[in-house]
Copies of this chain bind each other. A is one copy, B any other.
Amino acid sequence: MSGREIRTMEEFAEAIGISRPTVSKYFNDPASVRKTTRDRIEAALEEHHYQPNIFAINQNRKATKCIGILVPYLSDPFFAEMVRLMERRCIDAGFWPVILSAHGEQHLENEALATMRSLRPTGALLAPLGRASDLKALERFARNVPTVVFDSNVPVGETFVGSNNFQSIPMIVDYLCRTGEPPCFMEMQPVNPNANKRRDAYIMAMEKLGYDPQVVRVEGSGWEFEQIGLELGGEMLSSGGFPSSTILCSNDRLAIGLIAAAFERGLRVGHGQGCALRVAGHDDHPLSRFTTPPLTTVSQDYMSIVNKSVATLFDLVESGERNQGNRTEILFDGKLILRSSA
């Protein structure tokens, strides 16, 4: 290693013997400098481990290289997975994704939005809390930053990308009806628009098939869905509160809790003989494959949602257009994932 530590681009450029702006150009696009210059810079880079100050970089750029990603609850493996995929897409495209979580609380969502706004990101991928969101704060944010909303269709941003609950729910309702007792629908207090849509879709699907919809609502709140499924679902099981032996849960996490509750009570879950209960979910949560029995569910098309969200945002950013007024909604169909729980 050479003498003193290189701390600034100025020093770095001086050490090479070229001007700082040329080095700056290199970092923004290595191909924009002559090959001989590029080689000199890269050789020096090997030696000094110099890294531009990210604050200084973004401070005077008309568009930062930063993309904000906000989810309601990062500890939920569903969102963790979405974020993981989005993050890589952004990095590959040369952006710096900044991950933020609302931790299920409105004031933290608002704080996260404020943090994001102060980052002046080129664009943002937002999965709002939904019901608990501060709509005005979201609107204000989306007015300043090109925004694609995913998962939870809150009416802000340029585009929404998500799942088509009115396709996925009827599909699994249909399956459940054709293979056994028509399902009742277990939900908790709806935390976001998806929850409401799924319930409504369930009711429509049942009516269309000529069955009586039965919605079972448990009053848990918060984001510990499995716990709610276990506790309140368990109470329902004990008290005979479920009007059907087939239970379609509003999401997989609730179903995971319910399966655990059934196990506690010695109720065998599954579609085979000797089973007391069929349980199905929605989302194809990363761990649904590993429940016992494995959970029958309907998958959200993670990949498509992520790809489309990111691609839409990049288009938005590149074109510089803000399709004022005509917000678009892109919905992907789910796939039936048949496993043995229902």
Chain A residues within 8 Å of B, Cβ to Cβ = 49, 51-59, 64, 74-77, 80-81, 83-84, 87-88, 91, 96, 98-99, 101, 103, 111, 114-115, 117-120, 140, 226-227, 230, 256-257, 259-260, 263, 286-287, 289-294
Contacts and interface: CB of A to CB of B under 8 A. Distances in A.
A19 B5 CA distance: 37
Nearest to A64: B55
Contact of A77 (B77, B230, B293): B77
Contacts of A77: 75, 77, 80
Contacts of A88: 103
A329 to B, nearest CB: 27
Chain A interface mostly helix, strand, loop or mixed? Answer: helix
Number of this chain's copies in the assembly equals 2
Contacts of A114: 51
A81 B57 CA distance: 32
9 contacts: A51-B117, A51-B118, A52-B118, A56-B59, A74-B80, A75-B80, A227-B289, A259-B292, A260-B291
A49 B64 CA distance: 21
A42 to B, nearest CB: 15
Among all A-B residue pairs, the 9 with the closest Cβ atoms: A263-B292, A75-B80, A54-B118, A55-B59, A260-B290, A55-B55, A55-B58, A51-B118, A292-B292
